[in-house]
Amino acid sequence: MPPYLIASDLDGTLLDAEHRVAALTRETLAQLVARGHTLALASGRHHLDIAEIRRQLELPAWIISSNGACVFDADDRVVSERLVPQALVEALVALPRPASVRLNLYTRERWLIDAEAPALLPLHAMTGFTYQVDDLRDLSQAAVSKVLYIGEPSLLAPLERTLRERYGEALHITYSAANSLEVMQRGVDKGSALAQMLAALALPASQALAFGDNFNDVEMLTLAGNAFVVANAHPEVIARLPRAERIGAHHEAAVAHTLRRFFALD
């Protein structure tokens, strides 16, 4: 079998219900890397957060972080970095929002937030990577890859409409979860990052497998020659991807089972 690029979203896809890597998933990925296939961990998470998951896997893997804003090869070399322009970061920080909606920024080394949000901590318990509370007003030296608003979906919907009306031509706006509205530079998405990886590896899209569950995975799943959506994916995402194969749920290690079938590991 020729070499393949295997790109997977993390939360809700590769990771289980406790945001951890199941033993079968770890074993399956190790077998495939040993056979010469390339692994990419593609997530909205910060690259330092993803790097810790990779360290625990003990496998070489490329990293697509901040929904494609930053791409790193398996040796942690920066392949690309596309930042939100400073003026737009300042505008997004100043945009009025409900008091319970948390404003977050990802910089090169930090995850900044405007107030404490203990409910976010379990998501990152596996890695220990966490936020730092800041007033976010002095951003003159910040290199921001992603701005995200976290809150109740009913509060995010009008905020999304405002963002699209004012900045839809300049920014890429998506969701990684129902309560996480995410904003990157225009043209930044996991699909464009996957295309960069394929070019670097000299592989066609037909030799790419991609797995995902939410709106920030749509471009990646559209590009990959072999696309898979987990059963727990957002229904609208499933509807947008009629070509993608629907597989089991993330808490059932569906990615591992699908890879074992595809590559005849069983």
pLDDT tens-digit map of 171-213: 999 999 999 999 999 999 999 999 999 999 999 999 999 999 9
pLDDT of residue 140: 62
Tokens encoding 246? 């629907």
pLDDT tens-digit map of 123-174: 899 999 999 998 887 776 789 999 999 999 999 999 999 999 999 999 999 9
Question: What whole-number percentage of the chain has pLDDT above 70?
Answer: 99
Helix (H, G, I), strand (E, B) or coil at 64: strand
pLDDT tens-digit map of 25-70: 999 999 999 999 999 999 999 999 999 999 999 999 999 999 999 9
Q: Spell out the CATH class of 86-185.
A: alpha beta
Q: Answer whether 42's CB lies under 8 Å from 214's CB.
A: no
| 5-81+188-262 classified as CATH 3.40.50.970 | no
Instruction: Tell me the average pLDDT of the chain.
Output: 96
Which amino acid is present at 207?
A: Q
| Domain positions in the chain | 5-81+188-262, 86-185
Compute the Cα dihedral for 123, 32, 264, 28 and give only its sign.
negative
Whole-angstrom distance, CA of residue 136 vs CA of residue 105: 8
Query: CB neighbours of 202 closer than 8 A, spacing ≥ 6?
Result: none
The DSSP code for 67 is G
Whole-angstrom distance, CA of residue 106 vs CA of residue 142: 9
Q: Answer whether 189's CB lies under 8 Å from 220's CB.
A: yes
Long-range CB pairs of 88-93 (<8 Å, 24+ gap) are: 88/167, 88/170, 88/171, 89/139, 89/142, 89/144, 89/147, 90/139, 91/166, 91/167, 92/147, 92/163, 92/167, 92/183, 93/136, 93/137, 93/139, 93/147
Sheet arrangement for strand 180-185 = 132-133, 111-113, 102-107, 144-150, 180-185, 171-177
| 9 has catalytic annotation | yes
- The answer, yes or no, to whether residue 258 has pLDDT greater than 80, is yes
Residue located via tokens 């405002």: 162
Q: Give the predicted TM-score (pTM) of the model.
A: 0.96
